[in-house]
């Protein structure tokens, strides 16, 4: 098994089309050549490799599922999932960058935007010429975004936005922010806010020990004037931002498979060459029990992601089915990253190896896009018919 031949115990690759495999392999090779060699240093420095954004655009990694007429790659759901898998094989923070740009900024413009908005923003977002962020979470409202305090009120042909958003990926580096706020009737509206607007600022949130390659920011909106032309005309109600979350959660369900494969690869390579009590660590039953569990869980997660993708392509995928895959696959990847780290002993806590970094990152992935507990409640609701959120 080498980095390019992931453990594919059930030949899941046989379920992919030639085009899907080509997209996967091209993305994997690019990530391996351009991202892998620099990721440890960026993680340590707490920086995103900005110089690679135009290349990411050229590779079609930004909004791969957006139609070609708007600058996207027009790929199907499984190909999009495989792109997320390959980016997150390197780092969850890098996949976050692509997820936010594609699923949380381009998708709402495509789904809820006017034709003018689509033409103006989507092609430039696809090339990475402009960066976007998605502001839903607030200091007091993360799991329960319906309680948001941000407000928008009409002022002639403009809107005035006031509020605070928190934990916003790419906020500080964004040219535009998709901001969600309630109007005077309590209806959630979506806006494309120019980050140069008066009253808008996006201070970075520092000192993170997770997702260190990703920029995380507060959004401050103090009387920000936004023209009606920048309101998303087809967005109305909390359902609109929640629809965006479904897209991003879908990508996460695939992405974390890549992170877990990287950890398994590292654990197998390391334990085969690490001699302990005169024999390779991989030759001990305790080690093989860990490896067997990892291989089984990854195989199940791959099949979940694949099936979800085909349902998405058929137009039958439900949000609660996405919750099942996000919840299962993220927890699976986090458990594997932690277990792989133990097999590396002291080396596992260094940035020379990757499992420890993946484990730290996956703590964020367990929390964002709906915490593990929120997806548990969504599934409990779906299966029993009884909501237990409050
Ligand atoms: P609720 O009454 O259940 O729903 C309101 C309306 O929305 C519909 N709906 C959805 N539609 C599409 N996709 C989904 N995932 C949907 N969830 C709900 C629902 O059917 C209803 O429609 P209608 O027609 O009846 O009006 O709303 P609620 O206020 O009770 O909330 C339910 C709950 C707790 C599940 C929801 O609030 C939730 O998902 N909370 C978690 C919040 C969350 O995930 N935040 C993520 C912020 S973004 C982020 O983390 C980006 S990280 C960066 C990266 O991705 O890399
Ligand atoms: P809380 O909602 O306060 O939850 C705290 C704990 O309570 C959790 O364990 C939770 O599961 C639990 N809990 C909540 N409700 C219940 C319940 N009903 N029953 C039992 N337990 C419950 N948001 C954006 O809008 N855009 C972004 O780009 C973005 N990027 C992010 C990047 C990073 C690095 C991080 C860490 C977060 C990001 N988020 C973003 C925010 C993220 O979506 C929220 O952190 C998440 O939704 C949880 O909200 P919270 O942190 O306020 O936790």
DSSP 3-state of 218: strand
Ligand 2 centroid to residue 188 C-alpha, Å? 19
Burial string for 376-387 (b: 16+ CB within 10 Å, else e) reads: ebbbeeeeeeee
According to DSSP, residue 211 is labeled S
89, 78, 82, 91: which is closest to 59 by C-alpha?
82
Ligand 2 centroid to residue 331 C-alpha, Å? 16
Mutation pick for ligand 2 pocket among 103, 108, 142 (CB with most ligand atoms within 8 Å): 142
pLDDT of residue 3: 53
The verdict on the CB of residue 155 being under 6 Å from ligand 2 is no
184, 141, 143: which is closest to 162 by C-alpha?
184
Residue partners of 224: CB distance under 8 A and separation at least 6? 160, 161, 162, 193, 197, 198, 199, 200
The verdict on the CB of residue 74 being under 6 Å from ligand 1 is no
Contact 326, 341 (CB under 8 A): no
Please report which ligand is nearest the Cα atom of 245. Answer: 1
Please report which ligand is nearest the Cα atom of 215. Answer: 2
Ligand 2 centroid to residue 376 C-alpha, Å? 14
Give residue limits of the domains in the chain: 12-127, 132-230, 239-384
91, 279, 251, 124: which is closest to 194 by C-alpha?
124
Per DSSP, what are the bridge partners of residue 164?
Answer: 220
Contact 170, 97 (CB under 8 A): yes
Ligand 1 centroid to residue 285 C-alpha, Å? 44
The verdict on the CB of residue 318 being under 6 Å from ligand 1 is no
**DSSP of 8-36:** -TT-GGGGS-HHHHHHHHHHHHHIIIIIH
DSSP 3-state of 193: strand
Token digits of residue 24: 């996967």
The fold for domain 132-230 equals Butyryl-CoA Dehydrogenase, subunit A; domain 2 (2.40.110)
Kindly report the protein residue whose alpha carbon is nearest to atom 35 of ligand 1: 378
Q: What is the CA radius of gyration of the chain?
A: 21
Atom of ligand 2 nearest to the CA of 165: 25
* Alpha helices (runs of H) in the chain, residue ranges in sequence order: 18-30, 36-45, 53-58, 77-90, 92-99, 107-112, 115-127, 239-273, 285-314, 319-343, 355-367, 372-384
pLDDT of residue 5: 59
pLDDT of residue 223: 98
What are phi and psi for residue 324, nearest 5 degrees?
Answer: -60, -45
Q: Which are the catalytic amino acids?
A: 369
The verdict on the CB of residue 340 being under 6 Å from ligand 2 is no
How far apart CA 65 and CA 27 sit, in angstroms, is: 15
Which positions of the chain have pLDDT values less than 70?
1-5
pLDDT of residue 7: 82
The verdict on the CB of residue 92 being under 6 Å from ligand 1 is no
How far apart CA 386 and CA 389 sit, in angstroms, is: 9
239-384: CATH class: mainly alpha
pLDDT of residue 297: 98
The verdict on the CB of residue 239 being under 6 Å from ligand 1 is yes
12-127 architecture in CATH? Answer: Orthogonal Bundle (1.10)
């Amino acid at each position: 098994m080498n980095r390019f031949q992931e453990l594919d115990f059930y030949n899941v690759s046989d379920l992919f089309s030639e085009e899907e495999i080509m997209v996967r392999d091209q993305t994997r090779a690019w990530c391996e050549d351009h991202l892998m060699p620099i990721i440890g240093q960026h993680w340590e420095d707490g920086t995103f490799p900005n110089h690679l954004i135009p290349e990411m655009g050229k590779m079609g990694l930004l909004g791969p599922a957006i139609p070609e007429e708007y600058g996207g790659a027009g790929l199907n759901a499984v190909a999009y999932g495989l792109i997320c898998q390959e980016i997150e094989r390197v780092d969850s923070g890098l996949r976050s960058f692509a997820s936010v740009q594609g699923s949380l900024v381009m998708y709402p413009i495509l789904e809820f935007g006017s034709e003018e908005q689509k033409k103006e923003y989507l092609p430039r977002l696809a090339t990475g010429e402009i960066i976007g962020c998605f502001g839903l979470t607030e200091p007091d409202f993360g799991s329960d975004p319906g309680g948001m305090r941000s407000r928008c009120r009409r002022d002639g042909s403009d809107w005035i936005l006031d509020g605070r958003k928190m934990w916003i990926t790419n906020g500080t580096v964004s040219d535009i922010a998709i901001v969600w706020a309630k109007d005077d009737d309590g209806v959630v509206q979506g806006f494309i806010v120019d980050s140069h607007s008066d009253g808008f600022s996006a201070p970075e949130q520092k000192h993170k020990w997770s997702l260190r390659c990703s920029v995380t920011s507060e959004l401050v909106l103090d009387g920000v004037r936004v023209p009606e032309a920048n309101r998303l005309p087809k967005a109305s109600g909390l359902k609109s931002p929640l629809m965006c979350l479904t897209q991003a959660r879908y990508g996460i369900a695939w992405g974390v498979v890549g992170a877990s494969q990287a950890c398994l690869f590292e654990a197998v390579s390391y334990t085969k060459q690490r001699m302990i009590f005169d024999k390779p660590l991989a030759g001990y039953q305790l080690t093989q029990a860990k490896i067997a569990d990892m291989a089984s869980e990854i195989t199940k997660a791959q099949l979940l992601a694949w099936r979800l993708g085909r349902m998405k392509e058929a137009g039958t995928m439900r949000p609660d089915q996405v919750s099942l895959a996000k919840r299962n696959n993220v927890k699976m990847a986090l458990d594997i990253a932690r277990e792989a780290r133990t097999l590396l002993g002291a080396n596992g806590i260094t940035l020379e190896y990757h499992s420890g970094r993946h484990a730290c990152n996956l703590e964020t992935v367990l929390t964002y896009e709906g915490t593990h507990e929120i997806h548990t409640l969504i599934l409990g609701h779906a299966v029993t018919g009884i909501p237990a959120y409050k």
